[in-house]
Amino acid sequence: MKFGGTSVQTAEARMQAALRVVSAFEQGFAPVVVVSAIGRKGAPYATDTLIEELRQIDSSIKIEPRELDMMLACGEIFSAVTFVQTLAALGHKARSFRGGQAGIRTDGVYGNARIESINPTGILNSIQRGEIPVICGFQGTFAIPGEPGGELTTLGRGGSDTTAAAVGAALGAKAVEIFTDVDGVKTADPDFVPNAPTLARVSYEEVAEIAHLGARVLHPRAAEIAMKYEIPLYVKNTFGEGPTTEIIDRGQVEGRRVTGVTHSGKLVYLEFDLRHATTSHCAELQAKVYNMMARYGVNLFMINLSPSVIGFAVMRSQYPTVKDLLDGLVAPIGEGKPSIYMLQLGDTPSREAETQAELLGPLGEVVRIPLALTESCTIVSLVGSDFLENPKVFFDMLRCLDEANIQVWQTSNSDLSVSCLVPESETHRAVARLHSQFGLESIAEAPKQETSAG
């Protein structure tokens, strides 16, 4: 049973969560609890607050990833111990575990570690003693040969969901229940589609796709682990008896082509027009741009690569780096007197670019490659099963957006989703229109919660 930040943020919330654990225990289950840090942004032990504590010391000094992980782990430790005391107040023995004490071993990537193995002996011994184990989500340890103790690591985004699924798998759990502050998995963000129904059943693959493409209800790493070990996953609301989503094998989900509409990313779309470049130089020019993006760790989305265009979106947070790298970039290509390509953001070159062009002129022909920029984009996606079996899905999606006068800059697709890059200002309308176009409001609402463990 995993409880997210809002499910443990106040004494009242923790009591409701603890009562759910006690109920499972009294029904004869052996509940194992995983908790996130208490509360969201602004709460005293929330992740953002802990980072801010370090920044306040001297914001100009980089926080080492190892030290950041040590700090971040405090939030879950505080949460776990507090939860143990809440269970104790209800008359139940409980015991807190840091990730390492729970036997969670990870690789050595601070801040984004992956779980490599779990030795659940400590958890099992605790259960055998009649205790309820309460495990800190989001963390594990990494052994450095020759050094005692092991290094603490954190698992990155969605880490507590991942902990819950992995511990569930290690214990051969009957089910993994993810408790949050919303009813199950919705067909769309309820902030955008207030009447979005809660899905009764959804496949592991679909929920992973939904999560990858923006829904925040469950992390895809958790869905992938549950799928691998065939453990039923449930998403439930801690604070009510509302609908529940059951996440199961693809074959058990009844025919339903479209499952949901998601939105994700604050992006900037860049497109280079290569029509002015000599055809035989295009590949080298493209390689230079992509090598540069690789070297500086830029993450790319919605790529368009053709002989006449280089196009991709980057996260807005990375755009200043990308701009510095590409605006005015000079690439001499060709033997003898080469063509000197210069990337230029917008119609008017910067003064630096003008100066560069003048200096380079004697060395070869300077060819400006204009870089068109579209700020404030987002990805809106349709998620479902066997999309590509339906030839109409692209047409229906693009027509729906066109009829709403929503511009689409680029698309991408998989078997499980079709995504469109649209203006961020149109996200709300795009999600709502697509939700309606594909009849998602008429999907049968999931049934109300029953007992714990499913």
Task: Give the separation between CA 382 and CA 117, rounded to whole angstroms.
Answer: 34
Task: Give the separation between CA 430 and CA 383, rounded to whole angstroms.
Answer: 14
Q: Does 283 sit near another protein (CB under 8 A)? A: yes
The piece of 72-80, 90-98, 115-123, 333-341 that touches another protein (CB under 8 A) is 115-123
Which of 27, 296, 352, 358 touches another protein (CB under 8 A)? Answer: 296
Contacts of 26 (CB under 8 A, 6+ apart): none
Which is nearer to another protein, 280 or 425 (by Cβ)? Answer: 280
Which of 170, 270, 331, 446 touches another protein (CB under 8 A)? Answer: 170
Which of 11, 90, 144, 294 touches another protein (CB under 8 A)? Answer: 294
Which is nearer to another protein, 77 or 225 (by Cβ)? Answer: 225
> In whole angstroms, how close is the CB of 234 to another protein at the nearest point?
20
Task: Give the separation between CA 416 and CA 390, rounded to whole angstroms.
Answer: 12
Task: Give the separation between CA 196 and CA 190, rounded to whole angstroms.
Answer: 6
Task: Give the separation between CA 34 and CA 31, rounded to whole angstroms.
Answer: 10
Which of 332, 412, 429, 436 touches another protein (CB under 8 A)? Answer: 412
The piece of 2-10, 34-42, 112-120, 432-440 that touches another protein (CB under 8 A) is 112-120
Task: Give the separation between CA 286 and CA 312, rounded to whole angstroms.
Answer: 12
Q: Does 34 sit near another protein (CB under 8 A)? A: no
CB 28 within 8 A of CB 254: no
Strand ordering across the sheet containing 139-142: 115-118, 104-106, 139-142, 151-154
Segment (H or E) for 419? strand 417-423
| Percent helix, percent strand, percent coil in the chain, to nearest 5 | 40, 25, 35
- Helix pair angle (392-403, 427-437), 10° resolution: 130
Task: Give the separation between CA 247 and CA 202, rounded to whole angstroms.
Answer: 5
Which is nearer to another protein, 417 or 437 (by Cβ)? Answer: 417
Q: Does 303 sit near another protein (CB under 8 A)? A: yes
> In whole angstroms, how close is the CB of 444 to another protein at the nearest point?
28
Which is nearer to another protein, 6 or 262 (by Cβ)? Answer: 262
Q: Does 192 sit near another protein (CB under 8 A)? A: no
Which of 59, 252, 306, 425 touches another protein (CB under 8 A)? Answer: 306
Which is nearer to another protein, 11 or 305 (by Cβ)? Answer: 305
Q: Does 413 sit near another protein (CB under 8 A)? A: yes
Which is nearer to another protein, 13 or 118 (by Cβ)? Answer: 118
Q: Does 290 sit near another protein (CB under 8 A)? A: yes
Segment (H or E) for 312? strand 309-315
Classified as helix, coil or strand, 199 is coil
Q: Does 115 sit near another protein (CB under 8 A)? A: yes
Task: Give the separation between CA 205 and CA 200, rounded to whole angstroms.
Answer: 15
* Residue positions counted in the chain: 454
Q: Does 280 sit near another protein (CB under 8 A)? A: no
**Residues 86-117: b if buried by 16+ CB within 10 A, e if exposed:** bbeeeebebbbbbbbbbbbbbeeebeebebee
CA distances from 81 to 102, 280, 376, 443 (A): 14, 64, 42, 41
The piece of 3-11, 146-154, 351-359, 386-394 that touches another protein (CB under 8 A) is 386-394
The piece of 44-52, 93-101, 408-416, 431-439 that touches another protein (CB under 8 A) is 408-416
CB 7 within 8 A of CB 13: yes
> In whole angstroms, how close is the CB of 362 to another protein at the nearest point?
30
- The Cβ of residue 46 has, within 10 Å, a number of other Cβ atoms equal to 20
> In whole angstroms, how close is the CB of 21 to another protein at the nearest point?
16
Which of 67, 230, 402, 441 touches another protein (CB under 8 A)? Answer: 402
Which of 301, 319, 341, 438 touches another protein (CB under 8 A)? Answer: 301
Site for another protein in 324-383 (CB under 8 A): none
Task: Give the separation between CA 30 and CA 46, rounded to whole angstroms.
Answer: 29
Which neighbouring-strand residues pair with 451?
none
Which is nearer to another protein, 118 or 248 (by Cβ)? Answer: 118
Q: Is 203 left (phi over 0), alpha (psi -120 to 50) or beta?
A: beta
Q: Does 30 sit near another protein (CB under 8 A)? A: yes
Q: Does 317 sit near another protein (CB under 8 A)? A: no
Q: Does 444 sit near another protein (CB under 8 A)? A: no
- Residues forming contacts to another protein in the complex (CB under 8 A) are 30, 107, 109, 112, 114-121, 124, 127-128, 156-157, 162, 166, 169-172, 209, 212-213, 220-221, 224-225, 228, 283, 286-287, 290-291, 293-306, 309, 388-392, 394-395, 398-399, 402, 408-414, 417
